[in-house]
Amino acid sequence: MTHVGVRFGDCELSVERLELRRVDKVVDMEPQVFDVLAYLLRHRERVVPKTELLDQIWDNRFVSESALSSRIKSARRAVGDSGRDQRIIKTIHGRGYRFVADVIEKPRFAGSTNGSAATHDPAGSWQCASSSSPRRSIRVQVLLLDVITLQGMIAHNRGEWFDRLRRGLRATGENPQLASTVFDSHLCVAEYLLYGPTPYDEVICLTRQLREQAERTGARRGVAFAVTVAGEAALLAGDLDAARADLTEAVALHAEMGADTGTAHTLQRLAEVEPAGDDPAAAERLLRRALPLARWSSLARHLLQRIYGTLISAAPDADAALAVVDEAVERLDEPFACTLCQVMIAVPASIACIEGGRLDEARSWLARAQSSAATWQGTAWQGAVAEARAHLARAEGDRAAANRLLADAAKLFEVAGQPLDAQRCLEAVDS
């Protein structure tokens, strides 16, 4: 197979490999940043309007121009350009952007044994490789994420998930773009593991081993993933100091790589640590940082529900919590949402509506929580749903049922190894 490298300045971009190299080193890029750069490069003979980029890269989803500006800034940074210099990507004020660097198209790494590479037409191959629009690229990427997630779930059910992650490290060591896709796709599987019966000390031990392997092979995305899961395990186990240390490191690692999905996820988890500390308002600041990153991520349908759920839980009072619920209803695309992750917003939203006296809405949210939690059998989310049902029973005047449900929730949390959640439920039981 012949890979066509499109060179400009000290960079080389390959659409086939979804890879940018600068000074012969692979550059870490988020998929949308790569798509913006590739689209401008392909259409370098003209100015590309902002509206066209928004339509092509985001597949007709409504986004603000600030999201595009952010991707342009990241693309410039990746190729050694800047908004001041504009040697490669030029802003045409009032119109759009244009790729202005000189380009050399030539094939690399020819694997043909019949000599066809010697007569290969580089420009034709580039057009063929580029003919799939970023819109199609995003659809293919989301499909790939779903396939890898399904494979991860199967591996988890067989007790082989960490082995699969180790193979993923080896397979993606030379391709940061693919590594981001692979490790991002394991988000839901990791959450299933964290809320299930696997002891947290075992999870932390396995993530330490995964981190060591990732560090040996130079797989930075793998290191960030391992540190994140370790921090999540420590958080759920009630070790807030260890959780804060790991998740703070994970935020820095993801941000350094420009990995928006990982940054958004770790900010959300770090926010869960803060309400137990001295500065509850810090949780909202972290979550508001996470929201724009999550909104344009290929995992938006998973991340946004988690972030809004944590925002509701971190709200300082009932009115503020209801305001976040209303914001979430307005901003979330319901058909686009992940059923597995829905419990993460449905539980706190139902409790917020109960505390705010909006019981009909609470029952609707609780029904969604129960439906989603049915996919999490044997996990702590069963306890979370029982706790929400207890709040509703108490609001309806059935204190005996509320106490019974709180006791059940405490047991479920205890079995799952989440002592802080169990303690909260026990303290809520009437004496």
Q: Which CATH number fits domain 135-295: 2.60.40.1660, 1.10.10.60, 1.20.140.10, 1.25.40.10?
A: 1.25.40.10
Angle formed at CA 267 by CA 413 and CA 278, multiple of 5 degrees: 70
CA–CA distance, 279 with 296 (Å, rounded to integer): 28
User: Can you tell me whether residue 92 is helix, strand or coil?
Assistant: strand
Strands 104-108 and 48-49: unpaired
Q: For residue 70, give the amino acid letter.
A: S
Residue 65 · residue 8 · CB < 8 Å: no
What pLDDT digit, counting tens, does each position of 147-182 carry?
A: 555 555 455 445 566 666 666 655 555 555 555 666
Question: In the chain, where are the structural domains located?
Answer: 3-132, 135-295
Model pLDDT for residues 174-210, shown as the tens digit of each residue: 555 555 666 666 777 777 778 877 789 988 998 898 8
Residues 138, 172: Cα–Cα separation, whole Å: 19
Alpha-carbon Rg of the chain, whole angstroms? 24
Tell me if the domain spanning 3-132 has CATH number 1.10.10.10.
yes
d(CA 104, CA 178): 25
- Does the pTM surpass 0.85? The reply is no
For residues 74 and 68, give the distance between their C-alpha atoms in angstroms, rounded to a whole number: 10
Contact between 221 and 179 under an 8 Å Cβ cutoff? The reply is: yes
Those residues of the chain that have pLDDT short of 50 are 1-3, 107-145, 153, 156-157
- How distant is the alpha carbon of residue 350 from its chain centre? 24
Distance CA 318, CA 321 (A): 5
Position 259 scores a pLDDT of 84
Q: What share of the chain is helix, strand, coil (3-state, %, to 5)?
A: 70, 5, 25
For residues 387 and 394, what is the distance between their CA atoms, to the nearest angstrom?
11
Token code pair at residue 269: 């988890």
Judge contact between 405 and 366, C-beta under 8 A. no
Token pair belonging to 53: 């980029």
> From CA 407, how far away is CA 402, in angstroms rounded?
9
